[in-house]
Chain A
Amino acid sequence: MRTYIAKRLLLIIPTLLGAATLVFVIMRVIPGDVALLIFGGDQAGHIDPKQLAAMRQQLGLDQPLVVQFGTWLWGVLRLDFGKSLWTGQPVIEELLIRLPLSLELALLATVVSVIISIPLGMLAAVRQDSWVDYAIRIFSIGGLAIPGFWVGILTILALVIFFGWGPPLEFTPPWVNPWANLSMMIWPVLTVGYRYAAVTTRMTRSTVLEVLREDYIRTAWAKGLRERAVVIRHALKNAMLPVITLIGTEFAFLIGGLVVTETVFTLNGIGRFVVDAVAHRDYPVVQALVFLIASGFVVINLLVDLTYAWFDPRIRYR
């Protein structure tokens, strides 16, 4: 187990290095002049060549690619991603301001999705091909089909029309005023949570279905156990581990949800930060955020794998 953890920790280094390289390749090597884009692209008409040259210099684009790459990697190592072109603040500071909101949204949405999806997914699997199964499948496939931002728009529309609700502008941390925080977060949380629940319901259903085909379930039935005992004590217990893992790996889904939901609800979190940075052509921020989100994702996947290893004694590691 210890060697396994060490090995996984070591393997994270090349992956992160590769991710940093890929971000660099996307931002610098794909055709397209970033400095020109910042001034509005080819359509912007006349651009002062001096300004363009100054911007190139500020971004370090006048350096050879190798030097640019070295500077980028060195910055990554020291968590120094330069300054935002839009606000002039260091990227990492701007990020830390927005992190609590996104973390809270992600955490609450996960809780909501687990509460909804595990009972539903189990029920659908146990009653496979009945109307209950169809209804739950329509719920979950529907949740996957309905765009998160549209649910957000409809929610805001309903709140505005029926309750005269206006989105709060300032983020109140839960430790300052839990009630104000919750009344602000509840709608975005439900919007993200529903979509996330749709994914996990599907996964729970198929995992429980697979477990229900196992020999030990047949044995449990043959022993004459009641359905409740077979499903809860034998099937669910064995299905939970993969489901927990999948909740972790579907984290990417959650991040996608954060990006659009924060934009719709004008919440000042990481997701909206990415979208704003792209809109402002704030490339140092885009580059840093894309890399940091990928790193966070890699670390979460690692934690999920380690949890899995910890809980499942059958797995032997090379």
Chain B
Amino acid sequence: MRGSIRGSGTASVATNLELTHATATATLAPRLGAVEAVAQFIRRKPLGAAGAFIILGMMVVAASAPVVAPYDAYRADYGQQFARPSAEHWFGTDEFGRDVLSRIMFGARIALFVGFTASFVGCTIGGLLGVMSAYLGGKVDLLLERLMDILLAFPQLILALAIASILGPAVPNVVIAIAIPIIPRAARIVRATALSVKENVYVEAVNALGASRHRIVLRHIVPNVVAPYIIIVTAQLGGAILAEAALSYLGLGAAEPTPSWGLMLSGSALSYAEKAPWIPIFPGIAISLGVFGFNLFGDSLRDALDPKLRAGR
């Protein structure tokens, strides 16, 4: 059954690509200015625009954290433990008297860093393997496919957990632990697209013209798998941020005193929660809002690039 599903998937991807191409040229025909283009995006995809807005906000907070944050995110102040949210500490303080708002602001840097690098590294390695698999075919394809099957046999979080447990708690290790389970998922999708691109007449034509393998792959196949690649990268971003939070929550991600959102929810947060509910509430809102933004944006992007799901009536 795998074979047949993949077969039909490939066919639909082929038509999708053609359609995407057609609609892309159609919408581009009247050249839009940047402002108009943004306005049009907001009108057509209000949810996507809201997502983009949240992402932008998160980036601004992350970039300006050292200037804007009211306190040092790392410094403990034992006179100020468990301070209620007030004018001095908008989101209160934690069990070490650290300002929760400042820690959330610096935490945005960790979340964005881990999210972007893990998703980018995983999808790029996966994408390259997918193109290789599709273009070289034969034994290489078979071998890579089997390898991807094995990686896919592990639930994403379980594989990340196992890798993180061996590498130890640190931010770069979290990136590796989250990126590896993304590889087979990206490889699958890119391979399917690349396979259908390979069957196009123009590839046959450049092949007949005597173009080198390098040239065919780089100039004709890779540009055509960029759309699905971008879709997977955005689709994985939210999941990667969430995975970082989960690993840190379980004590396998960033280590204290790093202001990671997941870590802020872990360990003592629950035991103090009755006395100081702001300690678990605000970081949770930050994670949810951030991931929500990335998911909204990713969804709209996929809807826009995948005309099959567009309203047709």
A interface with B by C-beta (< 8 Å): 4, 14-16, 18-19, 21-23, 26-27, 30, 32, 34, 37, 41, 128-129, 134, 137-138, 141-142, 144-150, 153-154, 156-157, 160-161, 206, 209-210, 213, 251-253, 255-256, 259-260, 263-264, 274-275, 278-279, 286, 290, 293-295, 297-298, 305, 308-309, 315-318
Task: Name which residue of chain A comes closest to B51, CB basis.
Answer: A141
A297 near B155: Cβ-Cβ < 8 Å: yes
**A26-B163, A153-B269, A160-B274 given; A129·B311 CB < 8 A:** yes
A278 near B153: Cβ-Cβ < 8 Å: no
A256 near B284: Cβ-Cβ < 8 Å: no
Cβ contacts B249-288/A at 8 Å (1 or 0 each)? 1111000000000100100011001100100110010011
* Interface-centre pick from A144, A251, A318 (highest chain B CB count, 10 A): A144
Q: How many angstroms from the CA of A206 to the CA of B306 in the assembled complex?
A: 11
Interface size for B (C-beta < 8 A) is: 55
- Return the contact of B274 from the options A21, A161, A260 (Cβ within 8 A): A161
Contacts of B3 in A (CB 8 A): 317-318
Contacts of A153 in B (CB 8 A): 265, 269-270, 273, 280, 284
Q: How many angstroms from the CA of A215 to the CA of B280 in the assembled complex?
A: 51
- Interface residues of B, dominant DSSP: helix
A294 near B158: Cβ-Cβ < 8 Å: yes
Task: List which B117-149 residues lie within 8 A (CB) of chain A.
Answer: 146-147, 149
A297 near B265: Cβ-Cβ < 8 Å: no
Task: Name which residue of chain B comes closest to A293, CB basis.
Answer: B158
Q: How many angstroms from the CA of A30 to the CA of B162 in the assembled complex?
A: 11
A264 near B153: Cβ-Cβ < 8 Å: no
Contacts of A18 in B (CB 8 A): 146-147, 149-150, 153
A275 near B312: Cβ-Cβ < 8 Å: no
**A150-B284, A210-B308 given; A264·B157 CB < 8 A:** no
- Return the contact of A316 from the options B4, B47, B166 (Cβ within 8 A): B4
B1 within 8 Å of A (CB atoms): yes
Task: List which B90-116 residues lie within 8 A (CB) of chain A.
Answer: none
Q: How many angstroms from the CA of A210 to the CA of B272 in the assembled complex?
A: 48
Interface pick from B187-195, B201-209, B290-298 = B290-298
Q: List 26 A-B contacts (CB under 8 A).
A: A18-B150, A19-B150, A22-B150, A26-B166, A32-B167, A41-B168, A137-B299, A142-B292, A144-B238, A145-B290, A146-B287, A147-B249, A147-B287, A153-B270, A154-B284, A157-B277, A160-B274, A161-B274, A209-B309, A213-B312, A255-B157, A256-B155, A259-B158, A259-B161, A274-B158, A278-B252
